[in-house]
Amino acid sequence: MSSYMQNTQVIHEMRYSSIVLPNKENEAQEYPLKLRTQLATTFPSLQMSDNDKAPTPEKTSASTMEADVTKYKTAADIVHQVMKNLIDLCVDGAKVIDLCIEGDKLIEQGVGAVFNKPVKGVKVTKGIAFPTCISVNNAVAHFSPLASDPLSSQVLAKDDVVKIQLGAHIDGFASVAAETIVVGASAENPVTGRRADVIKAAWTAAEVAKRLVKVGHKNWAVTEGVGRAAAQWDCKPVEGMLSCQQTQNVIDGKKRIILNPSEAHRREFETATFAENEVYGIDILVSTGEDGKARIEESRTTIYQRDSTVTYQLKMKNSRAVFSEVHKKAGAFPFHIRYLEDEKRSRMGLQEALQHSLVKPYEVVYTPPGTFVAGFHFTIALLPAGPVLITQPPAWYKPELIKTDKELEDEELKALIARNLRESKKNKKKSTKKAEEEAD
């Protein structure tokens, strides 16, 4: 999802991961019929014919952004299908660790069915773009336990507010999605009270953010818009959460958006202007807490990311071996310790890398007990013709599932979310003409 900035120090960069699937020497040019049929059933929206072929070099050079968006959207289709499967599995009594493992398995199956034609003799890398995380109630993000963790026995219960987050990448172009559900809710038994407030606040804030991430707009406009939307339901964005620009193999680019910044954040944070052909992963996290503050508690960190901007020669042999494994399996993306060969050896080997900032942790953070956190994450591309939502709309959220006494009363925000994400050519000309007249 996003990144979390505490005071002036970023203590973790949130919400993406990738595991590169190993090349199979005996893999046929076309996926085996039996497996392709199985995946087509699991991922019905995926086209398994021409769409799973990499673009020719000529097309890529002629329209690079178009080719990139195709990869983003293919990854997004896989993410959406996996998300729907996980939502169906989020029932009373379901084990969180089982859901996390299942999500990762389904993503690997999905990406294994597409883009299998080598480009200039090199296979297209693809895999998990963020490890599946299931964060419940006041857990903000990044909860994906190992079997050895004390909290690995956690199960879902009726009325739990559950944030599901996962992602896939094709050729380093990552699509990450997150949404919030409530266990056992239905149209006959809708979500009410503060649970309903926080979900409606987060959903509305995400709709506002989608329309403010626009060419020429500044990052602070998104910060303020999200804060105003959350306040309509007496909620607060989680302090210090970051959303980042994305490029190939980079999910934490220089241009960023911060939520609910402290005074220290405001002094240190850089102003950025959105530009054409940029892609952003936008993470909206909202809490029922009074101030939106979150802190690290007892959960063990299981997700890390290599920092490619830092160089250091590791001294310990085990550290070098683990770091090499991380580079081979995850590249520049975050990774789960579960993906590495030996958990105990990997934790020991990562210690030296952590001490010298070669890898950064994605800590599990919590708002105060008794509060709830809801989150939505989307990936958006700012194309010449207008913004394009890469990821699909939430699979679970529907107005009839959420019953709250509060409604959006901010007239400016109501008008904003009533607009289409991409203006029609006719409206765009009117807006341009009006702006020119006002300038005169």
pLDDT digit string (tens) for 137-195?
A: 999 999 999 999 999 999 999 999 999 999 999 999 999 999 999 999 999 999 999 99
Task: Report the distance separating Cα 298 and Cα 284, nearest Å.
Answer: 24
Instruction: Using 70 as the pLDDT threshold, list the residues of the chain that sit under it.
Output: 1-63, 424-440
- From residue 120, alpha-carbon distances to 36, 54, 56, 124, 169 in Å are 24, 10, 9, 10, 20
Amino acid identity of 112? Answer: G
The topology (CATH level 3) of 302-362 is Arc Repressor Mutant, subunit A (1.10.10)
The topology (CATH level 3) of 64-296+367-422 is Creatine Amidinohydrolase (3.90.230)
Give the predicted TM-score (pTM) of the model.
0.84
Task: Report the distance separating Cα 108 and Cα 35, nearest Å.
Answer: 13
β-partners of residue 375 are: 285
Task: Find, among 410, 388, 415, the residue nearest to 215 by Cα.
Answer: 388
Q: Which DSSP string do the residues of 98-148 spell out, in sequence order?
A: HHHHHHHHHHHHHHTTS--S-BTTBPPPEEEEEEEEEEETTEEE-----TT
At residue 373, what are phi and psi to the nearest 5 degrees? -125, 135
Task: Report the distance separating Cα 273 and Cα 358, nearest Å.
Answer: 29
Please say whether the dihedral angle defined by the alpha carbons of residues 123, 174, 213 and 411, taken in this order, is positive or negative. positive
Residues of the chain with CATH 3.90.230.10: 64-296+367-422
* pLDDT the model gives residue 434: 52
Q: What is the distance of C-alpha 323 from the center of its chain? A: 24
Residues of the chain with CATH 1.10.10.10: 302-362
